[in-house]
Amino acid sequence: MLDIHIQILIGGLLTGGIYALIALGLTLAFGVTRILNVAHGDFLMLGSLVAYWVIYFTRTNPFLMIPILLLTFFAIGVTLYLGIIRSIVKKPPETMLISSIVVTLGLAFMIEDSASYLLSTRGMNFFSISYVLPPVEIGGIILPVTVRLISLIVIIAGSILLYLFIKRSLVGKMIRALIQNREVAISLGVRDTKISAITFGISIAFAAIAGLFMLMITSLSAYSGLELTIKALTIIILGGLGSFIGALIGALILGVTESYVGFYLGISWLPIISISVLIIVLLLRPRGLFGVE
Amino acid sequence: MPIALLLAVPLTRAPYILSFSFLLLIYLTLAESYDVLSGYSGYMNLGHVCFFAIGGYTLAVIVTKFSSFPLALAFLLSPLSATIFALFISYPLFRLRGAYFAIASLALGILLYYIFVNPSFDWLAGGMRGLMINTSENRSIISYYLAVSIAIIAILTHYSIPKTKLGLALLAIKDNEDVAKTFGIAPYRAKTQALVISASIAGFAGGVYVYGIGYVNPLTVLNTEILLTPVVMTLIGGTGIYSGPLTGAVLLMIIQEVLWVKITHFHLFIYGLILVLVGLFMPGGLLRQTQIQKIITRLKG
């Protein structure tokens, strides 16, 4: 009985780790630019689709895709910011939120439709890769296939790197300055456009990496994006908008809750439970667990 | 004059025109009722379609499960259930502001979708398949006239709100909620009143819509595209002004209709492109564009 619990817990932590990758990027981008990127999940889906095609045709090791995805999607994120998002940031605050939601939602629809067209020409609805290694047994506990374990290690390493980058590097300090007080940071010489573009690049790149891991543990469709965005939004609201630690803890809470609910009630209850958790947390703390009151 | 035209539509005996006008009126009602709260108070209720869905499901459940129940009463119960739902969610929702409110209401819409899809509620809502309603002969005509009346009610409500005390309270909240509070406005009560008004109209529209098309399932009343349609219509037309959602609804419906007929692929893509352009270049809506406003003032003399 205890074994089952540990397995559920580990499974939940893995899912939570992937969610953390998604949510960290989203919360960073929101904190710096005040733009709510509803297309975040669709960039994840795009990342996993690109990874899928490359792995499908070249049979490369999925983990070799990480640097490729990072660079490609960092570039996509920077381009997206400079091309479209920058003009929303310049709008007056009362129209900025609605503009950002509508524009990124439009982007989400465009990505979804293009991806669905690409997939349907090959007669596919879902895509996933099975890169299975034999399960590992440690002290009577059967760990989920090692691909998952490696994924977890990579995810943890990635999160720590991102954390150190934000805490220690100069760019990271500028990012934090922009999150804390935009006006003062800009007046003190932080180059707003450059830093925001970099943040968006990181955000999208992390989403694409999360897409790669999702590809290995579950299957995705062209329409998975919005659902994942909602999950990521749930997480960052749970933790408090713009909070790094909040997003991390929110992701783990959601991952573990989903894992238990999926085991005891069935997966059709997952969305209901996750949104209920969100609503309960907001009732108790209207600004999220780690949000500033 | 436009009302006379609307009333005359069924006389053309063209099913295509009738169903198009019916849909247009329903979406128009949704957009107007959405803007009753969002346009005046500035709270973006992205889950507005919840009330529409609840109204629609209420009618469908009553008609399919209790066949002896009088239809007129069923039509009254759909706005009632939407109102009860609105009261129920108003407390948690209105504790939130800005982006938090927008996302939580969106999450609520998606939550409702998953509740209706969940197989555990099949006995009530029929799951993914939804519910079919026994059709009466004059269904399309009856539902059409109901849609005309609810659309007129929605426009009149939206038009008269800024002239009431509630409207002034909402506008004050939009400007600055904390300051409004110190000037003796009860923000929570004003927002809840507006939410209830907007929910009851949307709930009634839901009942009419489901009766008109003869069935309901989660995809017809709650998919992501429908979820945001009233928001987009209001954005295209202009928010906080009764003619805004009206203009937006007519424009978007015509654009969609033309696209659906002319183009086989990439409907969603083009819809998305429209959203991007609207969001980038006219977040205040068409009616708030300076060029258009000049034309309007010139027309008024």
ipTM: 0.81
Which of B46, B97, B119 shows the shortest C-beta gap to A268?
Answer: B119
CA atoms of A120 and B226, how far apart (whole Å):
23
The answer to whether A101 and A37 are in contact (CB under 8 A) is no
Average pLDDT estimate for A28-43: 89
Average pLDDT estimate for A200-214: 92
Which of B46, B118, B225 shows the shortest C-beta gap to A272?
Answer: B118
Provide φ and ψ at A255, rounded to 5°.
-60, -50
Among A275, A278, A289, which would you mutate to test the B interface (most chain B Cβ atoms within 10 Å of its Cβ)? A275
pLDDT at B293: 73
Contact A237 B103 (CB under 8 A): yes
Contact B267 A283 (CB under 8 A): no
Residue A65 has pLDDT above 90, yes or no: no
Which of A98, A107, A116 shows the shortest C-beta gap to B272?
Answer: A107
pLDDT at B65: 84
> Within an 8 Å CB–CB cutoff, is residue A110 touching chain B?
yes
Which of B96, B231, B278 shows the shortest C-beta gap to A286?
Answer: B96
pLDDT at A59: 79
> Within an 8 Å CB–CB cutoff, is residue A279 touching chain B?
yes
pLDDT at A137: 66
CA atoms of B18 and A259, how far apart (whole Å):
49
- For chains A and B, CB pairs below 8 A equal 132
Residue B108 has pLDDT above 70, yes or no: yes
Average pLDDT estimate for B88-112: 84
CA atoms of A68 and A273, how far apart (whole Å):
36
Tokens encoding B78 = 């759909």
Average pLDDT estimate for A202-220: 89
Residue tagged 């991007």 (tokens) = B276
Share of chain A above pLDDT 70, in %: 91
Q: What is the mean pLDDT of chain A?
A: 84
Q: Residue B273: list chain A partners with CB under 8 A.
A: 106, 110
Residue A232 has pLDDT above 80, yes or no: yes
Tokens encoding A204 = 């999208």
Q: B266 to chain A nearest CA, in Å?
A: 6
pLDDT at B78: 93
Average pLDDT estimate for A193-206: 93
Of A127-131, A175-179, B141-145, B175-179, give the lowest mean pLDDT range.
A127-131
Contact A110 B273 (CB under 8 A): yes
Q: Which of B207 and B114 is assigned the larger pLDDT?
A: B207
Q: B242 to chain A nearest CA, in Å?
A: 19
CA atoms of B155 and B5, how far apart (whole Å):
17
| A146 — pLDDT class (breaks 50, 70, 90) | low
Tokens encoding B66 = 């209790």
Contact B114 A271 (CB under 8 A): yes
CA atoms of B266 and A22, how far apart (whole Å):
27
pLDDT at B270: 86
Candidate ranges A89-93, B46-50, B220-224, B274-278; pick with highest mean pLDDT: B46-50
CA atoms of B243 and B221, how far apart (whole Å):
25
> Within an 8 Å CB–CB cutoff, is residue A292 touching chain B?
no
Sequential DSSP letters for B35-97: HHHHHHH----TTTHHHHHHHHHHHHHHHHH-TTS-HHHHHHHHHHHHHHHHHHHHHHHTT--
| Domain residue extents for chain A | 2-129+145-284
Residue B289 has pLDDT above 80, yes or no: no
The answer to whether B199 and B85 are in contact (CB under 8 A) is yes
> Within an 8 Å CB–CB cutoff, is residue B161 touching chain A?
no
Question: Per-residue pLDDT tens for A103-138?
Answer: 998 999 999 999 988 888 776 777 777 665 555 666
Q: A288 to chain B nearest CA, in Å?
A: 9
Q: Residue A286: list chain B partners with CB under 8 A.
A: 95-97, 100
Among B268, B273, B278, B282, which would you mutate to test the A interface (most chain A Cβ atoms within 10 Å of its Cβ)? B268
Residue B173: alpha-carbon gap to chain centroid: 22
Q: Residue A272: list chain B partners with CB under 8 A.
A: 111, 114-115, 118
Residue tagged 């489901």 (tokens) = B210
Contact B100 A287 (CB under 8 A): yes
Among B95, B105, B111, B174, which would you mutate to test the A interface (most chain A Cβ atoms within 10 Å of its Cβ)? B111
